[in-house]
Amino acid sequence: MWGRRRRGAIPGPGGGAEELRARRREREAALRKARRQEQLVSKRLLREDEQDGAEVLLQPLPEDEVSELLRGVQRASEDRKTLLRRLRRALQDKETQQKFVRLDGSVRTLVGLFTGSLADVQMEAARCLHELSHSSDAAVAEACMPVTPYLLTYLSGHSVELMELCLYTLGNLVVESEAVRKQLLPQGIIPVLASCIQSPHEAVLEGLGYVLSQLLQAKEAPTEIIPLVLDSVLPQHMLRLVCSGLKSGTGAAVEFAWCLHYIVCSHTANAALIALGAVPALSSLLCDIASEISQSFSEGLELLTCPVLRCLGNLLAEETGCEAQIQDERLLAALFTVMQCYLQKHPFIVPEGLWLLNNLTADDPFFCFALLSLDLLPALLQLLPCSQAASVLVLTVLCNVAEKGPAYCQQLHQRAALPLLLGPLALPDPEVVGQCLELLHLLFLHCPQAAVDFVGQGGPQTLKQHQSTPELQERVQALLDMALQPPGASVFSSSPSCIVRLLLGYTTCPPGLRRNKLFTSLPCVPAPLPKGWSGSHMTASSSAGCRGCWCWVGCSQSSPWCPCHLVATTRRPQPPWCRDQAELSCKQCRRALVAVGGNTNPAGFALSFSTSFWCCSFKSKTQSSG
């Protein structure tokens, strides 16, 4: 449905081929927006292109006319096919759908004709049921429940058109009703889909991917659906179809790429996917996509690129060390090619690519070194003004590089990163400015010459603009103290108040821990505890939030030995697709914090000088090796 010509709506009296094409374009644009912004819970509608000039019924039929249509269909007559076609057009209206399902025996009649022996009548009855499945009323979807076993049965038939119609009808019913999903699972929908996935027909595979993607977005998917999928042959075939999408058609590849994304976001199957070779396979696919779009811009490939980027980024957030499987500079070059090619026409790809780059550079220095050795830093810095989300992520990646130590900071300084930071630093956005402050802190700490040059370029004047911003003023003053201290002076030779300001200012997670899960397939629900944490470490108010993306990290004041009590709430980089803010509160530090003296507190946590002022290394799905 994505990669091939879609069947359009019935034209009006003055309609024609051009009107049909316009409607197709509008529908495809709406579905692409759903892919990108609405988590794709939109329904699909298959309609025949009819050039007979038949008028689309835009007004609901009176109930007596609906009853008359039903009686005509129920009577055995030669014009039953024509009556079913009229009924199908009438069912395009929501009110008519509701009136129809309230009539006694209405759905039962359609099911009987759908399971009959007359092929033409069967197809028209199937189209009527498909129109009902497209209703946004859950009661209409549940009225269609008697047809689900027959829809599954006909998936093993020989008619590609009927199989496609059955698949999209199933997918639409799955979207609307949990009752339908609970009925389909014991009826064996997963084994049926597993047998269909080896079909040679692109239309069938695309429809199958649609059904599966709707199932995997259900709230009960992690516990009830994904385990059944993992026990079948579906995962390896999904990966095969995604990676062969450039050769055999992108329609099915797009659908199954989103299926993989929803599975990854469930946190239940990543080890299995990594064992199947998902990381190197998707990395190779990204390189192929980059090669394809660099030679000739292919419209529609962005729909495949987006879920591939998300899958890779999420799999890299695992603790399995899968970075070693993709230590290839070509992946980095491909990622920048993709972002640059889509920057103008599809700018939403840029934050997706930057989030993957963030996860690549978070722990392993390989990609940080490759970023510098391939001279990709100018291309990265060019993305700073793209958008607020892109600015934050670019700065986060630079923090990941700077966190690797003095050699990396010197490279950043020598490549003129500092002058380009003055622009974002002057913005009124606290999030962008806060990320600039983190990067400047690392540069000043590891490369004292950067602080000298910062002063010479008028940086302190720009910093002082934010001294009145409550969430930034302590960090701004701490940086000013570092930048303006006498040459050769130690960072810790300042007054105790300066050290307190540093403790207050730099309490977000270190860049090496910034690899986050993306989670957009389900609504925001209470967040699970990160690995390595127990319920005793969490406050009672910390359970709400966006499951999996961990945008916010908070600190509790209830523990006397928790250095995090110096700050109330600190913000992590927020992925642009996150729709909520998750808060966690710690009662026990997980990482040493800079303090005076290098003593050990009674709780047994060493507090010593370090090269960074990070507090409370929040353990998300990935643990830092530090």
Instruction: Render pLDDT for 291-341 as a digit per residue (tens, 0 to 9).
Output: 999 887 677 899 999 999 999 999 988 766 676 678 889 999 999 999 999
Better-predicted residue by pLDDT, 182 or 250 = 182
Query: What tokens appear for 574 in the block?
Result: 């927020």
3-state secondary structure of 554: strand
pLDDT at 199: 93
pLDDT at 616: 27
Under 8 Å between Cβ of 259 and 238: yes
pLDDT at 170: 96
Under 8 Å between Cβ of 242 and 256: yes
pLDDT at 29: 54
583/606 Cα distance (integer angstroms): 26
14/16 Cα distance (integer angstroms): 7
Better-predicted residue by pLDDT, 51 or 483 = 483
User: Which residue, chain included where needed, has tokens 């986050």?
Assistant: 516
- Asked if residue 165 has pLDDT above 70, the reply is yes
pLDDT at 36: 44
Report pLDDT digits (tens) over 435-478. 999 999 999 999 999 999 999 998 889 899 888 888 888 888 88
Phi, psi of 355 (to 5 degrees): -70, -40
pLDDT at 467: 86
User: Which residue, chain included where needed, has tokens 């690519």?
Assistant: 353
Least confident of 19-28, 413-422, 540-549: 540-549
Residue 570, strand partner residues: 553
188 — pLDDT class (breaks 50, 70, 90): very high
Q: Quick one: CA torsion of 599, 602, 603, 606, rounded to 10 degrees?
A: 10
Q: Comparing C-alpha atoms, which of 111, 114, 100 is closest to residue 71? A: 100
Report pLDDT digits (tens) over 199-238. 999 999 999 999 999 999 999 999 999 999 999 999 999 9
176/261 Cα distance (integer angstroms): 21
Q: What is the DSSP letter of 572?
A: P
pLDDT at 186: 96
Q: How many CB atoms lie within 10 A of CB 369?
A: 17
Under 8 Å between Cβ of 132 and 173: no
Query: What tokens appear for 127 in the block?
Result: 């189209």
- Asked if residue 599 has pLDDT above 50, the reply is no
pLDDT at 91: 93
pLDDT at 22: 61
Q: Comparing C-alpha atoms, which of 447, 453, 369, 365 is closest to residue 406? A: 447
Report pTM: 0.73
- Asked if residue 530 has pLDDT above 60, the reply is no
Q: How many CB atoms lie within 10 A of CB 532?
A: 11
Query: What tokens appear for 357 in the block?
Result: 């780059």
- Asked if residue 540 has pLDDT above 60, the reply is no
Report pLDDT digits (tens) over 249-307. 788 999 999 999 999 998 888 889 999 999 999 999 999 999 999 887 677 899 999 99
Rounded average pLDDT over 606-623: 27
Q: What is the DSSP letter of 218?
A: S
125/129 Cα distance (integer angstroms): 6
> Which residues, 6+ apart, have CB-to-CB distance to 456 below 8 Å?
none
Report pLDDT digits (tens) over 12-57. 333 455 665 566 556 555 555 554 444 444 667 776 544 443 445 4
Q: What is the DSSP letter of 325?
A: G
88/620 Cα distance (integer angstroms): 51
- Asked if residue 3 has pLDDT above 90, the reply is no
Better-predicted residue by pLDDT, 512 or 238 = 238
- Asked if residue 525 has pLDDT above 50, the reply is no
Distance, C-alpha 268 to centroid of its chain: 16
459: left (phi > 0), else alpha (psi -120 to 50), else beta?
alpha
3-state secondary structure of 182: helix
Please state the three-class secondary structure of 288-320 as a single string.
HHHHHHHHCCCCCHHHHHHHHHHHHHHHCCCCC
The residue type of 366 is F
485 — pLDDT class (breaks 50, 70, 90): confident
614: left (phi > 0), else alpha (psi -120 to 50), else beta?
beta
Rounded average pLDDT over 547-563: 29
Size of the chain, expressed as the number of residues it contains = 626
> Which residues, 6+ apart, have CB-to-CB distance to 55 below 8 Å?
12, 13
Under 8 Å between Cβ of 3 and 16: no
75 — pLDDT class (breaks 50, 70, 90): confident
The residue type of 144 is C
Q: How many CB atoms lie within 10 A of CB 227?
A: 14
Q: How many CB atoms lie within 10 A of CB 496?
A: 9
pLDDT at 324: 66
Average predicted confidence (pLDDT) for the chain: 74
Q: How many helices (H) and strands (E) does the chain have?
A: 31, 3
Least confident of 28-32, 119-123, 163-167, 234-238: 28-32
225/234 Cα distance (integer angstroms): 12
Distance, C-alpha 326 to centroid of its chain: 21
- Asked if residue 625 has pLDDT above 50, the reply is no
Under 8 Å between Cβ of 213 and 262: yes
Greatest pairwise CA separation for the chain in angstroms: 99
Residue 555, strand partner residues: 586
- Asked if residue 147 has pLDDT above 90, the reply is yes
> Which residues, 6+ apart, have CB-to-CB distance to 398 below 8 Å?
380, 412, 417, 439
3/245 Cα distance (integer angstroms): 10
Q: Could you tell me what percent of the chain has a pLDDT over 90?
A: 47
Helices (H), 217-249: 226-230, 234-243, 245-248
pLDDT at 489: 54
Q: Could you tell me what percent of the chain has a pLDDT over 70?
A: 67
170/329 Cα distance (integer angstroms): 43
Helix (H) or strand (E) holding 213: helix 202-216
Q: Comparing C-alpha atoms, which of 616, 621, 618 is closest to residue 547? A: 621
Distance set, CA 76 to CA 79, 87, 102, 109, 147 (Å): 9, 16, 22, 12, 21
Identify which of 130-139, 485-494, 554-563 has the greatest average pLDDT: 130-139
- Asked if residue 565 has pLDDT above 70, the reply is no
- Complete DSSP assignment for 136-202: S-HHHHHHTGGGHHHHHHGGGSS-HHHHHHHHHHHHHHHHH-HHHHHHHTTTTHHHHHHHHTT-S-H
> Which residues, 6+ apart, have CB-to-CB distance to 401 below 8 Å?
361, 368, 371, 372, 408, 412
Better-predicted residue by pLDDT, 588 or 381 = 381
> b or e along 333-361 (b: 16 or more beta carbons within 10 Å of the residue's beta carbon)?
bbbbbbbbbbbeebebbbbbbbbbbbbbb
Percentage helix, strand, coil for the chain under 3-state DSSP, each rounded to 5: 60, 0, 40
The residue type of 3 is G
Angle at 430 between CA 424 and CA 433, to 5 degrees: 30
Under 8 Å between Cβ of 66 and 57: no
